[in-house]
Amino acid sequence: MNALLDYEIEPERYEFFESLAALETTRRDFFRIVGGGVIVALLLGDEAAAQRPGRGGGPPEIGGWIHIGEDSAVTAYTGKVEIGQNIRTSLAQVVAEELRVPVKAVRMVMADTALVPPDAGTFGSQTTPQMASQLRRAAAAAREVLIDLAAEKAKVERTSLKVTDGKVSGPDGKLFAFGELTKGQKLMKLIGATAPTTKPDDWTVTGTSVPKVDGRAFVTGGHQYASDIRRPGMLFGKVLRPPAFKATLTNVDPKAAEALPGVKVVREGDFVGVVAPTAHEATAAAEVIRADWRGEKQISDKELFQHLKDRAGKGGGGFGGGGRGGGGAQGSIPDGLKAADKTVQATYTVAYIAHVPLEPRAAVAEWTDGKLTVWTGTQRPFGVRSDLANALGVAADKVHVIVPDMGSGYGGKHQSEAATEAARLAKAAGKPVKVVWTREEEFTWAYFRPAGVIEVNAGVSKDGLLTAWEFHNYNSGASSIRMPYAVANVRTEFHPSETPLRQGSYRALAATANTFARESVMDELAHAVGTEPLAFRLKNLKDARLRAVLEAAAKKFGWGQAPAAGRGYGIAAGTEKGSFVASCAEVAVEGEKVRVVRVVTAFECGAILNPDHLMNQIEGSVIQGLGGALFERIEFADGKILNPALSSYRVPRFRDAPALETVLVNRKDLPSAGAGETPIIAVAPAVGNALFQATGTRLRGLPLVPDGFKKA
């Protein structure tokens, strides 16, 4: 059979390939991976291509793809990473739906750079809007290919055939297992953005609460995280860390370490590490290396906020705040303030906080014939592959990164430090090496959610309408800085600054900081003109989706009642990444003791893929959000983290968990948006507003009560 005739490709898509020969190479690459059968791959349009890390390795124009093997097996390939958001399940649901097979019949191959299409990374709530839709289209097209093959085989009209329960059936009751149709085939179909899919109203698999597909492996301890990988002859690595940030190595004496049995010291410039047969011996060896460092004076958390203001515009601000510029301006702030009956001028702050994924950074690296394989926990497998290629001086196609489903990340695992360290040590040792960061290393040498200062200058008329809104965020970021309430005179601006600590992405980026400041000031304005806070918001709101979640949360909470003495109710709302959230909180204050009693959250992210997993994400976001709202903060001075341990950096525990109630607003008429981030953003202001009602004190810094409640 002429291979070229196997292709079906939309004519306008053909231009993506320079020639039919390139297309044939692509096809061969795919079948080298899977053997025979049918492949349907999605050709990326411009929008989806923006999620790509650029060209390098693999056929660059292909998005998610589906393979149906000669044994009927259905496999979907994606560069996305399972971090606990349960996309291994939701993506399998989408594929199962379109191919009319049980969910358990779909195997997901994820985040293995030798097998999956290049991908920029798993962040920004993009898996659901981008990857679920790509795989859905590919799976739907694969179903049509199977029908074509069956029609040809049975010599019947394709319209007389249908696909149910993993088989194609004809009018005479004849059934074809997928494998009977794909046997002996090497057929590849490329499809475009417009491939038709099942409408949400007709979903029977997506939209249902399918349990975590491999849940059993987690409760039995069978699942192997990157830190669990063991290789024959593997050694353990440990890296020598400076005593403080910005310290430079002036002298190192490794003799005492080298004298230990089985220990090898590796030094390349400022990088000093050891390998040893056990982690215990590697740690002991690193401890006896004598090193001299030259330090430099650095600011402490006491001077942080002044520093961020003073240095505004002077630094790059690091990465991870989200967005540039920020929201824009219209009207005139002076005019708006002149028209106001009451004004509020306030400064809000947020501290640096740590992600604390329970699995710290970890990697196992192994070199074979000049090729490098690394198992590691990262949200950016292809980014780590490039970093490894650059750091180790090898071509990217000689580097293979495998990301086992991870012990979470929350935006905190975008970098490649542990992978690079393991690869360097493995190269020097000539054996596989595992590096697992300690909790202290994780707290010190990873990166933090950016701290920030937010200044707000707002005006309101006595009838409760906003007249002016000026909002400046220093350092923390621009996400959700745009004003969602209607106001004629508005100016919102993000000012990058110089960060004394390493900072980066954190679940929802700066949307948490900006929503905290905005929704707290909205509360201040409501009280300033004596309007009830929910009514005040609704009065100034034109966005119907934000209104819907506010009303849904308020209804479930029973908003409008007066709290008992020592208790307070607070409400807040926000939107980010195409989804909408409102939270209501009840707090109890007894002396200095603060307890969040109850949190009700209403959330809308378009058409829901898996209601139970969505609930789980919302509940988890609320708990994690409570940590940053109430007590989490990084303390630092002179280049050192002062609380780099779980005994000194408090994260939420069982006792901190309030009663949680969640309202899912399902909008089947709207495209599905991601949901792992946005549910966190309204927690802190809801709690802050509740504390104000309970105590009469307005707390304007996150965390709100790190040392308990203090009267202003």
Instruction: Give the burial class of 341: count Cβ atoms within 10 A of its Cβ; 0-12 exposed, 13-18 middle, 19 or more buried.
Output: middle
Give the contact letters, 420-439, x = binds to other proteins (CB under 8 A), - = no: ----------------x-xx
Q: Which of 177, 186, 140, 154 is CA-nearest to residue 32?
A: 186
Nearer to other proteins, 236 or 692 (CB): 236
Q: In this structure, what token pair is assigned to residue 528?
A: 């300033």
Residues in 208-227 that interact with other proteins by CB under 8 A: 209, 211-212, 215-216, 218-225, 227
Report the C-alpha gap between 534 and 570 in whole angstroms. Answer: 9
Indicate the pairing of strand 235-239 with strand 433-436. Answer: parallel
Q: Which of 357, 450, 570, 674 binds other proteins (CB under 8 A)?
A: 357
Residues in 666-705 that interact with other proteins by CB under 8 A: none
399 neighbors 385 (Cβ within 8 angstroms) = yes
CB neighbours of residue 696 within 10 Å: 10
Backbone angles phi, psi at 626, to 5 degrees: -65, -35
Does residue 251 belong to the site contacting other proteins (CB under 8 A)? no
Residue 4 C-beta: closest distance to other proteins, Å? 45
Residue 237 C-beta: closest distance to other proteins, Å? 13
Does residue 712 belong to the site contacting other proteins (CB under 8 A)? no
List, as one string, the DSSP characters of 553-603: HHHHHTTTPPPPTTEEEEEEEEEETTEEEEEEEEEEEETTEEEEEEEEEEE
Task: Please enumerate in sequence order all residues whose Cβ is within 8 A of that of 385, keeping only pairs 6 or more positions apart, or say none.
Answer: 57, 113, 396, 399, 400, 401
Does residue 275 belong to the site contacting other proteins (CB under 8 A)? no
Does residue 414 belong to the site contacting other proteins (CB under 8 A)? no
Q: Which of 242, 407, 606, 674 binds other proteins (CB under 8 A)?
A: 407
Nearer to other proteins, 153 or 223 (CB): 223
431 neighbors 365 (Cβ within 8 angstroms) = no
Nearer to other proteins, 145 or 675 (CB): 675
CB neighbours of residue 378 within 10 Å: 31
Task: Please enumerate in sequence order all residues whose Cβ is within 8 A of that of 636, keeping only pairs 6 or more positions apart, or say none.
Answer: 300, 301, 352, 500, 501, 642
Does residue 646 belong to the site contacting other proteins (CB under 8 A)? yes
Within 13 Å and on the Cβ side, how many CA atoms surround 343?
A: 16
Q: Among 115-123, 386-394, 590-598, 613-621, which window interacts with other proteins (CB under 8 A)? A: 613-621
Nearer to other proteins, 174 or 231 (CB): 231
**Number of residues this chain uses to bind other proteins (CB under 8 A):** 59
Does residue 660 belong to the site contacting other proteins (CB under 8 A)? yes
Q: In this structure, what token pair is assigned to residue 64?
A: 């998610």
Residue 612 C-beta: closest distance to other proteins, Å? 5
List, as one string, the DSSP characters of 247-306: -EEEEEE-HHHHTSTT-EEEEETTEEEEEESSHHHHHHHHHT-EEEEE------GGGHHH
- Terminal Cα distance for the chain, rounded: 82
Does residue 230 belong to the site contacting other proteins (CB under 8 A)? yes
Residue 125 C-beta: closest distance to other proteins, Å? 15
Does residue 558 belong to the site contacting other proteins (CB under 8 A)? no
Dihedral sign for Cα atoms in the order 73, 379, 225, 263: positive
Q: Among 26-34, 326-334, 354-362, 515-523, which window interacts with other proteins (CB under 8 A)? A: 354-362
Q: In this structure, what token pair is assigned to residue 670?
A: 């709207």
Does residue 397 belong to the site contacting other proteins (CB under 8 A)? no
Helix (H) / strand (E) element for 21: namely: helix 20-34
Nearer to other proteins, 181 or 210 (CB): 210
Residue 286 C-beta: closest distance to other proteins, Å? 15
Does residue 313 belong to the site contacting other proteins (CB under 8 A)? no
Does residue 654 belong to the site contacting other proteins (CB under 8 A)? yes
Does residue 366 belong to the site contacting other proteins (CB under 8 A)? no
Nearer to other proteins, 224 or 345 (CB): 224
Residue 466 C-beta: closest distance to other proteins, Å? 34
Does residue 368 belong to the site contacting other proteins (CB under 8 A)? no
Report the C-alpha gap between 235 and 425 in whole angstroms. Answer: 9
Does residue 199 belong to the site contacting other proteins (CB under 8 A)? no
Q: Which of 46, 653, 707, 711 binds other proteins (CB under 8 A)?
A: 653
Residues in 61-100 that interact with other proteins by CB under 8 A: 83-86
Nearer to other proteins, 175 or 358 (CB): 358
Q: Among 475-483, 532-540, 639-647, 666-674, which window interacts with other proteins (CB under 8 A)? A: 639-647
- Residue indicated by tokens 């968990």: 657
Q: Which of 114, 131, 112 is CA-nearest to residue 52?
A: 131
Q: Which of 707, 685, 672 is CA-nearest to residue 207?
A: 672
Report the C-alpha gap between 387 and 168 in whole angstroms. Answer: 46
Residue 283 C-beta: closest distance to other proteins, Å? 10
- Cα angle value 30/32/34 (rounded, 5°): 70
Does residue 624 belong to the site contacting other proteins (CB under 8 A)? yes
Residue 646 C-beta: closest distance to other proteins, Å? 4
Does residue 415 belong to the site contacting other proteins (CB under 8 A)? no
Does residue 655 belong to the site contacting other proteins (CB under 8 A)? yes
Report the C-alpha gap between 5 and 20 in whole angstroms. Answer: 11
Does residue 444 belong to the site contacting other proteins (CB under 8 A)? no
Q: In this structure, what token pair is assigned to residue 230?
A: 């063991």
Nearer to other proteins, 470 or 632 (CB): 632
Q: Which of 683, 515, 668, 517 is CA-nearest to residue 599?
A: 683
Does residue 711 belong to the site contacting other proteins (CB under 8 A)? no
Does residue 411 belong to the site contacting other proteins (CB under 8 A)? no
Report the C-alpha gap between 361 and 375 in whole angstroms. Answer: 11
Q: Which of 258, 335, 532, 612 binds other proteins (CB under 8 A)?
A: 612
Q: Which of 3, 73, 394, 657 binds other proteins (CB under 8 A)?
A: 657
Q: Which of 43, 435, 456, 623 binds other proteins (CB under 8 A)?
A: 623
Residue 656 C-beta: closest distance to other proteins, Å? 8
340 neighbors 467 (Cβ within 8 angstroms) = yes
Q: Which of 316, 382, 326 is CA-nearest to residue 53?
A: 382
Does residue 261 belong to the site contacting other proteins (CB under 8 A)? no
Does residue 276 belong to the site contacting other proteins (CB under 8 A)? no
549 neighbors 573 (Cβ within 8 angstroms) = yes
Report the C-alpha gap between 623 and 657 in whole angstroms. Answer: 7
Residue 506 C-beta: closest distance to other proteins, Å? 13
Residues in 524-553 that interact with other proteins by CB under 8 A: none
Q: Among 305-313, 342-350, 573-581, 609-617, which window interacts with other proteins (CB under 8 A)? A: 609-617
Q: Among 64-72, 92-100, 527-535, 618-626, which window interacts with other proteins (CB under 8 A)? A: 618-626
Indicate the pairing of strand 489-495 with strand 466-474. Answer: parallel
Nearer to other proteins, 395 or 645 (CB): 645
Nearer to other proteins, 154 or 622 (CB): 622
Report the C-alpha gap between 664 and 649 in whole angstroms. Answer: 33
Does residue 356 belong to the site contacting other proteins (CB under 8 A)? yes
Residue 688 C-beta: closest distance to other proteins, Å? 19
Binding residues vs other proteins (CB under 8 A): 83-86, 209, 211-212, 215-216, 218-225, 227-228, 230, 236, 278-280, 356-360, 405-408, 410, 436, 438-440, 612-613, 616-617, 619-624, 645-647, 651-655, 657, 659-660
